[in-house]
Amino acid sequence: MRGREFNSELRCLFLSKKILIINGPNLNRLGKREPDLYGSSSLNDLEEMLRNEASGFDMELDFFQANVEGAIIDRLHQAESDAAAVIINPGAFTHYSYAIRDAIASIHIPVLEVHISNVHAREEFRSTSVTAPVCAGQISGLGFESYTAGLYYFARRLTNE
């Protein structure tokens, strides 16, 4: 909730323990695109790894990937009614999509931004995120474990709420 405490109205949403994982542009190319940065595992491999991790927390995951900004915005809007929280890797949209930023800010469930590579150790433009300020936090540079860290974060939040 953008650095704020979750309010009691949202508590009922957390009982569902459904986490939406959104992957933005070009993440469907994992395993093929710049394996030196992103590794040789595919998006399907990532999803399977996360399903295995989530089963230990009794969490349900829903996966969505789009290369189109509007599709991501539409899915964020929908998430408010069918998910307890969102983990998003906006890809390149991280750095310039004020529309996705506004969609995140407009929903009343927590959103966590993740990145596979360390965006702060890459090209200068990648160190600026327009979406992170409206997210609960940002995790980057841990490979697929960035997503796993997000799952752990929400598992603890869902249990403690």
pLDDT in tens, the chain (161 residues): 444 344 444 444 444 689 999 999 999 999 998 777 777 789 999 999 999 999 988 889 999 999 999 999 999 999 999 999 999 999 999 998 999 999 999 999 999 999 998 887 666 766 789 999 999 999 999 999 999 999 999 999 877 65
What pLDDT sits at residue 6? 47
Give the pair of three-digit tokens for residue 142. 């841990």
List active site positions.
38, 115
Q: Which residues are within 8 A (CB) of 41 and not within 5 positions of it... i.e. 6 or more apart?
A: 30, 31, 49, 144
- Spatial contact of 68 and 22, defined as CB atoms under 8 Å apart: no
What pLDDT sits at residue 125? 65
What pLDDT sits at residue 50? 97
What pLDDT sits at residue 15? 43
Q: Which one, of 83, 47, 50, lies nearest residue 65 by Cα?
A: 47
CA 15 to the chain's CA centroid: 19
